[in-house]
Structure 1
């Protein structure tokens, strides 16, 4: 059985850094997407680890009999950029018991430290929202389809994972966000839906961009609420492509921007613009996580690839780190510090765990 840690219950803030134009800067008690330490705190000065270049933001933590400690956290740099691809060998574990003046290093090999699949506690959903107004359908549909398929291929895992899903929607001038493919973990299904787009799919040549932003936010919020049931942690990404400005005038720019600004901080926003008719400032504001622009349709696939790389990095910067602690029943509450090194960069975070009931036999 899992027993919850006795958490400190406080968030410790660090200096807020801003990346180029767009950055995550919010923290909440579900998923900490900001630059704070989440459910952790700065490491004790006795460790003398030096200045941090990386930030480990603890999202959740728990113990499992007979002695396994599990920490789920996000790793980013000081500019808020995600850091994916870390391995267990890059982490150092430090424990401090009641008889220790400072921390002792715990061998990662002897403790069987590992990065474990996080599907049992984490769900990540992506919404790809495509502008299929007349200007796209008549001049750049084939390029958009190639770019969309490349996006799916880059974002979705090579092997099907229940924790990573995507849905595809499209919009034109109608007061509706049309479903192209429902939420799924099947890369093949998503690809087939994009391949099936035809130039007669739309009945309204106008562009309801602001309506698409508002409606996709509502869908992402609903998916996030559903994915966080049963003690799970969730995140969502909304990726919106358009080749122009809002023409339907059904909703205002202010209403769309407010929807984005007021959205759950666990929802990331990306925008992709094509051509000379887009308003780059509007798309930059709506794509508060990241925005990219293609000057012509020949650049569309590389532009989609840029965003897919960012979406994938963000999703893969969450880690479930587990190890077998040498502490045993009777040792009570212990301090724990985890340090990660990535080349010349390093960062660390500190928390606590209770070893009540811990015995040998952990694997």
Structure 2
């Protein structure tokens, strides 16, 4: 992730360095930063969870903070974990292996969806002629259900959604700008009429490319405000690309090269869609409705995964016992969910660390 100025504080911050570990050859810098291949001395065994570090920083006099995401090996988010699901290990240069950090002594805490994280959803609807003439009412009902499922019951500036639509024009039309107000989104959907479009064709690949640009622009905008963010692009269509302005390879290249914090979901309706293409575009998850009567159920299926994606980010903070002069130190975060476990390893520099912590 490209966060350069993650948080502005009066207190001094020391940036994390590249990760490492003590291994059998005595190389304290053997494991790359953010690696899920943690030191073998911990003997964790095969992992079923993947932890991805989004950002990390230290704050004097001795606080260490790591912002990370948890998925299973199929890429599904793992939301709703609490502090009891995590074990934290620390290793200094004089330690042969890692020592477990005491939660009480280190004031360790793990928090989901903190004030330093914003999540944005872009709902992108196909309003080409085939949808408007045959399944508009069902699409509106499904989209409203989606909004109500994804948006928090209590509005929060950390969770916002925008709605766009496309037809055959070379434009991604705005239906409702980014907002935390679910009622406003619902009203916009209810206001869709069958004569909204002037071009009956389908510019699916263009919609993929343009919505990716908007998602990445949002992430960059928040980055400029020292806020970590993620975006989910949810695309609905009942057919294939007919406008042919852009190629399938153009769209897939855009998806596959997108910022790592952009997730993709696709929803397909009917027998004219190309499921393989939609699965490739919806690389996070995809779902298909055989007929318009199944749309609400299918949208709800995706809404659960979009919500899970947003709630699978965690902030870990603790007061390290390491002090100035101890140099760089290794840190491992292990997560457990049911019978699954996984871990990630990183390191921090304790220069300037003293007693006490925020």
Q: TM-score, normalised by structure 1?
A: 0.84
Distance 1:240 1:357, change over 3 A: same
Residues 1:52 and 2:28 aligned together: no
Alignment root-mean-square deviation, CA: 2.5
Counterpart of 1:186 in structure 2 is: 181
Residues 1:344 and 2:339 aligned together: yes
Distance 1:146 1:110, change over 3 A: farther
Q: 3-state SS of the aligned residue for 1:228?
A: helix
Q: Distance in 2 between matches of 1:96 and 1:256?
A: 45
Give the Å deviation of 1:2: 4.6
Distance 1:4 1:361, change over 3 A: closer
Give the Å deviation of 1:97: 2.6
Q: Distance in 2 between matches of 1:153 and 1:360?
A: 47
Determine if contact 1:123/1:233 at 8 Å carries over to the other structure. Answer: yes
Counterpart of 1:90 in structure 2 is: 85
Residues 1:220 and 2:230 aligned together: no
Spell out the pairing of 1:278-357 with structure 2 (5 A cutoff): 278-357=273-352
Counterpart of 2:13 in structure 1 is: 3
Give the Å deviation of 1:315: 2.1
Deviates more, 1:332-341 or 1:289-298: 332-341
Determine if contact 1:76/1:83 at 8 Å carries over to the other structure. Answer: yes
Determine if contact 1:4/1:61 at 8 Å carries over to the other structure. Answer: no
Counterpart of 2:23 in structure 1 is: none
Structure 1: unaligned runs, 5 residues or longer: 11-35
Counterpart of 2:206 in structure 1 is: 211
Structure 2: unaligned runs, 5 residues or longer: 1-10, 21-30
Determine if contact 1:269/1:290 at 8 Å carries over to the other structure. Answer: yes
Which deviations, in whole Å up to 9, do the C-alpha atoms of 1:261-305 show, x marking residues without a partner?
Answer: 443343222211111222222322322322211011111011111
Determine if contact 1:242/1:273 at 8 Å carries over to the other structure. Answer: yes
Determine if contact 1:38/1:59 at 8 Å carries over to the other structure. Answer: no
Distance 1:78 1:152, change over 3 A: same
Give the Å deviation of 1:184: 1.6
Give the Å deviation of 1:154: 2.1
Counterpart of 1:164 in structure 2 is: 159
Residues 1:268 and 2:242 aligned together: no
Q: 3-state SS of the aligned residue for 2:104?
A: coil
Which deviations, in whole Å up to 9, do the C-alpha atoms of 1:42-95 show, x marking residues without a partner?
Answer: 322222222222222222211123322111111122222221111112111222
Distance 1:321 1:242, change over 3 A: same
Q: 3-state SS of the aligned residue for 1:109?
A: helix
Q: Distance in 1 between matches of 2:185 and 2:41?
A: 52
Where does structure 1 differ by over 6 angstroms across 4 or more consecutive aligned residues? none
Q: Distance in 1 between matches of 2:114 and 2:156?
A: 8
Counterpart of 1:78 in structure 2 is: 73
Give the Å deviation of 1:239: 1.1
Q: TM-score, normalised by structure 2?
A: 0.85
Q: Distance in 1 between matches of 2:205 and 2:124?
A: 12
Spell out the pairing of 1:197-208 with structure 2 (5 A cutoff): 197-208=192-203
Spell out the pairing of 1:115-264 with structure 2 (5 A cutoff): 115-116=110-111, 118-264=113-259
